[in-house]
Structure 1
Amino acid sequence: MKLLSIRLHNVRRFTTPVEIGGIGPGLNVLSAPNETGKSTVFDALHALFFKDRKAWDKELRALQPHVGGDPEVSVTLESGGQTYRIEKSWTKGRRGEIRVFRDGHLAHQADDAEAWLAGLLKAPKDGGPAGLLWVRQGLLGLADGKETETARRDLATSVTGEIEAMTGGRQMDDILRHCRSELDGYVTSRGARKGGPLDDAETRVATLEAREAELRARAAALRHDLDNRSRLRRELEGLNDPEEAAQRQQKLGEAEAAHAAALRHAEDLDRARAAEQSARLALENHEAATERLEAQLAEASEAAAHMAEAEERLAAAWKVLSGKDAAWEAARTAHEAATKEADAATSRHRRALKAEQAAQAATRRQELDQRLAAATDRRRQVETLAALAQQGLSADGLQQIEALALELSVARKALETAAPAVVMRYAQGRGDGVSLDGRPLPDNTRIALPEGGRLDIAGIGALHVHPGAGADGSSVETALAELDTALVEHGLASLDEARRSARDRAASEVALREARAALKLAAPDGLEALQAALAALPAPVEAEDGLPGVAEAEQAEIAARQALQTAATALESARRAAEEARQAEARASMAGESAAARAERAALALAGKEDPQAALDGLRAAHPALSQAVEDARARRAALETDAPDLDAAQATLQRLTSAMKAAEARSRQIENDLAGLESRIEIQAGEAVDEELSEVQGQLEAARAQHDAVRFEVDVLQRLSGALERARTEARDRYVQPVLAELEPLVRMIWPEAELRFDADTLLPAGLSRTGTEEPFDVLSGGTQEQIALLVRLAFARILARSGTPAPVILDDAIVYTDDDRIEAIFDALTRQANDLQIIVLSCRQKAFRDLGGTALAIRPVVAG
Structure 2
Amino acid sequence: MIITHLAVEGVGRFRSRHVLRGLDTGLNLLCAPNEAGKSTLFRALHLALFARHGSKTEEMRRLGSLGAELPACVEVGFKRGGADYLVKKSFLRSTGAKLYKNGTLVADGRAADEAVWTALDLTPGTSAAEEAAFGLLWVRQGQSFRPAEPDEGTRALLSRVIEAEVGEVLGGERGERVLRRVADRLAEDETARGQPKAGGPWKAALDRRAEAERTLAELRRTLDALEADRTALTDKLRERALLADPAETARQKADRDAALAERDAGARAEQAAQQAGTEEAQRELAADRARKRHEELVGLDQRIARTREKIAALTRRAAEQSAAKDAQAARLAAQEQAFGALATRLAEAERAVDRARRRETAARDAERVAEISARLVRARELREHIARIRQLITTLAVPADAVKAIETAMQALDAARARAEAKAPRVRVTIGPAGAGRVTCAGEAVDGTRDIAAVAPVTVAVGDLATVEIVPAASDDAAAIEGAREQLARALREAGVASLAEAHERRARAADLQTEGRGLAAELAATAPVPGPGPAKGGKEDGIALLEKALAEAQAGLETGSDSGAPLPDRDTLARERAAAEAARDRLRREHADAQSAVLAARSEAEAETLRLQALQLDLADMQTRLGEDLAVCPDDRRAERLVSLAAEAAQARAAFDAATRRAAELRAAVPTADQRTALDARVRRLTQAIDGRERRLAEVERDIANLQGRIATRGGEGLGEREAETADALALAETEVAAIERRLAALRLLRDAVTESRRAARDSYLAPVKTAMRPYLHALFPGADAALDASFAIDGLTRAGADEPFVSLSDGTREQVAIIVRLALGRLLAERGQAVPVLLDDSLVFSDDDRIERMFDVLTQAAEKQQVIVLTCRSRAFLSCGGRALTIERDDA
> TM-score normalised to the size of structure 2?
0.39
* TM-score, length basis structure 1: 0.40
